[in-house]
């Protein structure tokens, strides 16, 4: 059972780090997509949420093309710092970020759009600008749905498999997250270890979904 300790710890670490970035970038992005009209808005939305429908291996492939040692950005990062993200736990966090980000954008956009315009208008009339209105009126009113989005992103980030395998590999003790450890255990015939991790993972996912549903219902 001790074999599950590192993958569990790594999965939690990867999911927490990716969710931090997902929330920090996804909530403002969802807010902008909900509140602003600009040319190419729906195209941008489609591009940002595409990983939701792409097979994770395709997302992983794109990530290699962009961040790999000879990738579009990766080559410059390597030239400047000597750092290559491939086969590190950062790569697992990046993969989790990419697949969880669309969930955050979708929920944040829907949450912001659900806030009645009368409150936004009231805030503007009372002399407040966009930032104050966002921070003191819109986001507090949308907070439960947004929090539900954060929890869903966390759960999605923890469960990421395909893109992580492509970008971070499956290195025990280094980049082997829980889903990868389950795959390795099952493929190697260690059903007992696989079963133990599957039960643990199912429980964690169930709790996350229950919390997200509860928050969404309360904010409705």
Where does this chain bind another protein (CB under 8 A)?
116, 118-119, 121-129, 132, 136-137, 140-141
Give the shortest CB-136-to-another protein separation in angstroms: 7
Q: Which is closer to another protein, CB of 127 or CB of 189?
A: 127
Q: Judge contact between 166 and 63, C-beta under 8 A.
A: yes
Contacts of 178 (CB under 8 A, 6+ apart): 4, 7, 8, 10, 11, 158, 197, 200, 201
> Backbone dihedral region of 99: left (phi > 0), alpha (psi from -120 to 50 degrees) or beta?
alpha
Q: Which is closer to another protein, CB of 65 or CB of 126?
A: 126
Tell me how far CA of residue 191 lies from CA of 85, 125, 173, 196, in angstroms.
Answer: 32, 64, 20, 8
Give the shortest CB-219-to-another protein separation in angstroms: 11
Give the shortest CB-116-to-another protein separation in angstroms: 8
Q: Which is closer to another protein, CB of 122 or CB of 203?
A: 122
Give the shortest CB-42-to-another protein separation in angstroms: 25
Give the shortest CB-119-to-another protein separation in angstroms: 6
- The half-sphere exposure of 49 on its side-chain side, counting CA atoms within 13 A, is 16
Q: Which is closer to another protein, CB of 134 or CB of 181?
A: 134
**First vs last Cα of the chain: how many Å apart?**
42
Query: What residue spans of 126-190 are helical by DSSP H?
Result: 130-133, 139-159, 162-168, 178-187
Q: Which is closer to another protein, CB of 121 or CB of 202?
A: 121
Give the shortest CB-156-to-another protein separation in angstroms: 28
Q: Which is closer to another protein, CB of 53 or CB of 125?
A: 125
Q: What angle do CA 49, 90, 98 make, to 5 degrees?
A: 5
């Amino acid at each position: 059972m001790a074999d599950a300790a590192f993958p569990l710890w790594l999965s939690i670490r990867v999911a927490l780090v990716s969710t931090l970035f997902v929330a920090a970038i996804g909530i403002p992005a969802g807010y902008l997509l909900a509140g602003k009209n600009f040319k190419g808005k729906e195209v941008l939305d489609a591009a940002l949420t595409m990983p939701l429908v792409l097979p994770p291996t395709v997302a992983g492939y794109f990530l290699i093309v962009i961040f790999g040692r000879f990738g579009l950005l990766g080559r410059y990062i390597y030239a400047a710092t000597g750092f290559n993200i491939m086969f590190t736990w950062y790569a697992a966090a990046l993969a989790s970020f990419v697949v969880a980000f669309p969930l955050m954008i979708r929920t944040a956009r829907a949450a912001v759009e659900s806030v009645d315009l009368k409150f936004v208008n009231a805030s503007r009339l009372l002399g407040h600008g966009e930032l104050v209105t966002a921070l003191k009126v819109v986001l507090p009113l949308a907070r439960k749905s947004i929090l539900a989005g954060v929890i869903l992103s966390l759960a999605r980030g923890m469960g990421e498999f395909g893109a992580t395998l492509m970008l971070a590999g499956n290195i025990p003790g280094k980049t082997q997250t829980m889903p990868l450890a389950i795959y390795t255990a099952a493929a190697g015939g260690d059903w007992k270890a696989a079963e133990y991790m599957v039960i643990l993972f199912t429980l964690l996912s169930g709790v996350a979904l229950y919390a997200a549903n509860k928050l969404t219902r309360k904010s409705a």
